[in-house]
Structure 1
Amino acid sequence: MAHMTSILESAVKLNNGRQMPLLGLGTWQNKQPGSVQDAIETAITAGYRHFDTAYLYRNEAEIGEAIKAQIQQGKVKREDLFIVTKLWLTFYSPEDVLVGFNKSLEALQLDYVDLYLMHSPMALQRQGDEIFPKKDEELLFSDTDYVDTWKAMESLVSSGRVKSIGVSNFNISQLQRLLSVAKIPPAVNQVELHPYLVQSDLVKFCKANKITLTAFSPFGCPGRPKEFHRGATDPEKLLEDPVINDIAKKHQRTPAQILLRFHVQQDIAVIPKSASPKRILENTKVFDFFLDEDDMKALKSLDKGWRCCIIEEMKSHPFFPFKDSYVSWRACEGISEVENK
């Protein structure tokens, strides 16, 4: 269990001995240069040292500029930062992994990244700089095996330009398969986690196999783009849940702080995204209180297997990782559609 501490002291040890701060700043959907610069400056001042981005987010260059400025101003040292980015799906062919990595490293203006993740187990064909390459409105899937991609990822560690490697959006069976062949086991699996998607089996598996979990979309991603919505109403609003709000009142905290504490108390890293200075600071105030056993039980009881982040067009991919849980949220969607007819 995470101890009473501050944001600067709160970290989890990865399976290679390196430390990763438990609270990070997510930057998905944060593309505006001024917004990124301000968010990172505010976050560093507030004590954040863990920053999460990806080639997909198209903001690595702005983040690199912001971090460079903070280092040059003496606000922080590079060795105190933990920078995470991700290999995009179109660079999964083993010969393209280094190409994709170099694009990210150059944009970030860094000599190395602290953690490099495969963004998902699903590969797409490479078509120039297309993020989602299509033909006749159909995504162009690649048959590249994520195991082969992983072997190329391992070579990045020996180069010294990546300190740790991991994955994102992998299910248990995919992790098992990767572990059976990996020379370097994944240090991290970054997945969607929150009380509506507790994923207790995945959490147990990762802890048993010394794979640290990072939770994305801890608030249920209220600002997610339309392609992630399922049904016209998409009614799930985690921050408004009465159980979460009752626990927040009990501890005199915000619902967001309760949701973040839910993860860090389990030694699960969490990367809330915000561009608001007030919320960036507010999100750091999660290391000076505990949720009791009843609180944790109540939060876990909210589990409904609901995912806010599934790209519908990917569900027919042979390595689509959510097949086992796909029915559960389809059922939720069906109920919401019936209720709102």
Structure 2
Amino acid sequence: MGSTIPEVALNSGSCKPMPLIAMGTALYPFNPSDAMRAAILRAIELGYRHFDTAAVYQSETSLGDAITDAISSGILGSRDEIFITSKLWCSAAHKDLVLPALRSTLLKLRVEYLDLYLIHWPVSLKPESGLELPFSKDKLSLLDMSSVWEAMEECQSLGLTKAIGVSNFSCRRLETLLSFCKIPPAVNEVEVNPLWQQKKLREFCMARGIRLSAYSPLGGIRTPWGKDWVMECDVLKEIAEAKGKSLAQVCLRWVYEQGDCVIVKSFNEERLKENLLIFDWELNEEERQKIAQLPQGKSCRSMDFVSADGPFKSLEELWDGEI
């Protein structure tokens, strides 16, 4: 079943193609668990071949165990059949800590290399904050993008990751990064869904050979209204009913049609199966136009990174106005 998931080549010559559906492993409160290990193993059996993790999710150990189980049981022939994305947490976003952080990730995953390693946020935390969440805002500091990216490039040069990229970067931050990098980012992982379509960012990235990976493709609860705008959207409900599909499948199909990698997050077996059933049908032009006209608003605003005494005094500063 794994071969039924379309793949896309990245701008890194040493990286294998990236499957355009990934299973996300961010389950709060963050900690490794046998339930996560079992769900990942079942996902591999169903055909998932791309897994999205991060140091701060504390899911790397569970993912590594599941991959080991899959190889030992013969579901996978080798680790090379899996595409693994992980991320550098903010407390290790310092030039001298990047390589040790990646080596720690590899140990937890029990693999020799990543396929894709991302800077998780365009923010640093003081190293002593570790993986603590929530973190104290007095630990926030400005990311030294140049030196941290140089360390990311070293990780790729050493073969410890096949490609490098970023997450939660705006057009402006990408422009800064592209002005000095030797190895351009392969991917920018950001929130994308029908109610936060990222048209400007996608156009910017596509013109520069950078792929978007879409987290929260089904949206999320947005304050202060407390409404799940995507899953309660009447337009999306009408399209789903007309197509004979679930609203979630319509959202995933829409993101896929934009050319983005879709990061899905469910440990429920029926939903894991449903998420893979988006490739043998498509939205029609009228449906695409209805979605294009939906009001836009960001769900994942990340106020945790905003502080009067920190590098970002407002959400507008954090997102460079792209909010």
Q: TM-score when scaled to structure 1? A: 0.86
Q: What is the distance in 2 between the residues matched to 1:46 and 1:202? A: 32
Q: What is the distance in 2 between the residues matched to 1:69 and 1:294? A: 45
Say whether residues 1:206 and 2:197 are aligned partners: no
Match of 2:263 in 1: 271
Q: What is the distance in 2 between the residues matched to 1:325 and 1:129? A: 29
One of 294, 319, 323 as aligned partner of 1:322? 319
Match of 2:216 in 1: 217
User: C-alpha displacement at 1:8, in angstroms?
Assistant: 3.1
Match of 1:26 in 2: 24
Say whether residues 1:122 and 2:123 are aligned partners: yes
Over residues 173-209 of structure 1, what are the superposed CA-to-partner deviations in whole Å (9 max), with x where a residue is unaligned? Answer: 1001101111100000000001111111001011111
Pairs aligned (count) = 312
Is contact 2:12-2:162 (8 Å) kept? Answer: no
Match of 1:151 in 2: 150
One of 226, 243, 256 as aligned partner of 1:251? 243
One of 252, 256, 280 as aligned partner of 1:288? 280
Match of 1:331 in 2: none
Match of 2:254 in 1: 262
Letter in 1 for 2:321: D
Letter in 1 for 2:87: K
Match of 1:12 in 2: 8
Is contact 1:7-1:23 (8 Å) kept? Answer: no
What is the percentage of aligned positions where both structures have the same residue?
36
Q: What is the distance in 1 between the residues matched to 2:169 and 2:228? A: 23
Q: What is the distance in 2 between the residues matched to 1:42 and 1:199? A: 32
User: C-alpha displacement at 1:105, in angstroms?
Assistant: 1.0
Is contact 1:8-1:48 (8 Å) kept? Answer: no
Higher relative contact order (CA 8 A, sep 6+): 1
Going from structure 1 to structure 2, the CA distance change for 1:32 and 1:92 (only over 3 Å counts) comes to: closer
User: C-alpha displacement at 1:128, in angstroms?
Assistant: 5.7
User: C-alpha displacement at 1:36, in angstroms?
Assistant: 1.0
User: C-alpha displacement at 1:159, in angstroms?
Assistant: 0.8
Q: What is the distance in 1 between the residues matched to 2:177 and 2:90? A: 17
User: C-alpha displacement at 1:237, in angstroms?
Assistant: 3.1
Q: TM-score when scaled to structure 2? A: 0.91
Alignment gaps of 5+ in structure 1: 223-228, 327-341
User: C-alpha displacement at 1:279, in angstroms?
Assistant: 0.2
User: C-alpha displacement at 1:303, in angstroms?
Assistant: 3.5
Say whether residues 1:307 and 2:298 are aligned partners: yes
Match of 1:40 in 2: 40
Q: What is the distance in 1 between the residues matched to 2:81 and 2:167? A: 24
Alignment gaps of 5+ in structure 2: none
Report the aligned-residue RMSD: 1.9
Match of 1:225 in 2: none
